[in-house]
Structure 1
Amino acid sequence: MKKFRHELKYYITEHDYLTLRQKLALVLQQDRHSIDQRGYLIRSLYFDNVYDNDLFQKNNGIFRRKKFRIRIYNHSDHIIKLEKKSRQGEHILKTSVSITREEYMKLLDWDYEFLKKKEDPLYHEFYQYLNREYMRPRVIVDYIREAYIGHISNVRITFDKELSFVTNSIDLFDFSNISEEVLTHPLMIMEVKFDEFLPDYIRQLIQIDAHNRSAISKYILCRMASIQYHGM
């Protein structure tokens, strides 16, 4: 059974990143999704209801929140994940199930009855949200993730670079997608995730107390930038 994990987020500079990645590479392994030293592309289509509840709950500091998204890696349809990310304060729980390219296209066409025939409860929950709360695709979020993992307390340190939103489409596989960056160089995001505790050697290695924590939401940053871009 999955359990809530700690998630700490920080804005860091490129100078900090270059120093930290050198240290982490000596003691942790890079994520299996990586295609080179820079990491891998994550592209996510986020859903929200007609009232943008997820957007406003975050901006209003609601303690318990959730987000639904469909996620792919490196522009490939080999893995397509329907995910729900739940948050209670600084603790997160991510649950996910696989969907096919055909099922993904059905969702874009508002044909989601197939979800009721699936076994996993997450399919059914997503169906209820689509049907009851009129969930709609809102924005595609792109970034390059460089991730390092450790086995003690399931530690995961990630550097998320080139955070962008897609300006002209809500289709993850649209080859005409145009992206607009939302963070000014040299800023990027470091995330620190772990189960029960953060091992001391990791804490000391990344000098975690030297960085300023921030309540960062990639969805919020990109959704607000998208709203401003389209003048909505």
Structure 2
Amino acid sequence: MNQPIKYRHELKFFVNFHQYYTIRQRLKNLMQPDEHVSPTGEYHIRSLYFDDIGNTALTEKLGGIRQRKKYRIRMYNLDDKVIHFEKKIKNGEYIAKIKELLTREMADNILACDFHELNIPSKPFLMELHNEMTHRLLRPKVIVDYVREPYTHSNGNVRITFDKDLKSGLHRTDLFSRDLSMVRALSENQIILEVKFDEYLPSPIRTALQLEGLQHQSASKYVICRKFIKLNAWEDQ
């Protein structure tokens, strides 16, 4: 059975540290920290992004195509007990996500270009991945690594995150390494603010964000980090 697709609004902005501290202080009076955060109020995210032989995800984003998709493997706090393969679907300022749980063994096999475990007819998304990897040569391109500070609000199903310390991994097969060689992808004073919600953004939260005064962020983390990786690497695998 195909997973239902539910679209949400997604807005992205660059903020500096002064803006971050100001907005965060306002939001703390309106929203709750995400339930999965550590005592510091944050958690670590590492994603391995994939693209096909034509670099479709990259070129469509750079070309301003409004309807596009990206594939990635994602894990949290460098813990391999919960690993997801995700498909992020973008339609203008609306997003949707489809995902399937992977075992560590499945992830390792995918990194070794062994896709047989994805050939499961009862799981359409895994079958889609199998077809993409077999016929369109979907392959790992870049590791994207950052620290996220998330806040939530039930009205409007609002989720606001501050993504800090964005880095790009230089070796794409070392997804689970705690000693991965990394390159900073943004300056220390740049933080990515993401605002996600369903039908509406409550007025007090919108007022607290003062979005009209922020720098709209059009480039994705994937695109930002790809500039550190040779464009044509892995194309012959």
- TM-aligned CA deviation for residue 115 of structure 1: 1.2
- 3-state SS, counterpart of residue 222 of structure 2: helix
* 1:93 matched to 2:96: yes
- Greater mean deviation of Cα atoms: 142-151 or 199-208: 199-208
The residue that corresponds to 2:189 in the other structure is 186
- 3-state SS, counterpart of residue 198 of structure 1: coil
Aligned positions of 1:1-232 closer than 5 A? 1-117=4-120, 119-227=122-230
- Greater mean deviation of Cα atoms: 115-124 or 90-99: 115-124
CA RMSD of aligned residues (A): 1.5
Question: Residues 41 and 207 from structure 1, CA distance in 2 versus in 1: closer, same or farther, beyond 3 angstroms?
Answer: same
In structure 2, give the amino acid aligned to 1:177. L
- In 1, the alpha carbon distance for the partners of 2:105 and 2:188 equals 38
- Greater mean deviation of Cα atoms: 210-219 or 53-62: 210-219
- Greater mean deviation of Cα atoms: 70-79 or 36-45: 36-45
- TM-aligned CA deviation for residue 38 of structure 1: 4.6
Query: Is the 1:169–1:177 Cα contact (8 Å) retained in structure 2?
Result: no
Identity %: 40
More helix by share: 1
In structure 1, give the amino acid aligned to 2:79. S
Number of residue equivalences: 229
Per-residue CA deviation, residues 92-143 of structure 1 (Å, 9 max, x unaligned), is 1111110100111111111111112263321111111111100110010000
Structure 1 unaligned residues grouped into runs of 5+: none
Query: Is the 2:45–2:77 Cα contact (8 Å) retained in structure 1?
Result: yes
- 3-state SS, counterpart of residue 164 of structure 1: strand
Output the TM-score relative to the length of structure 2: 0.92
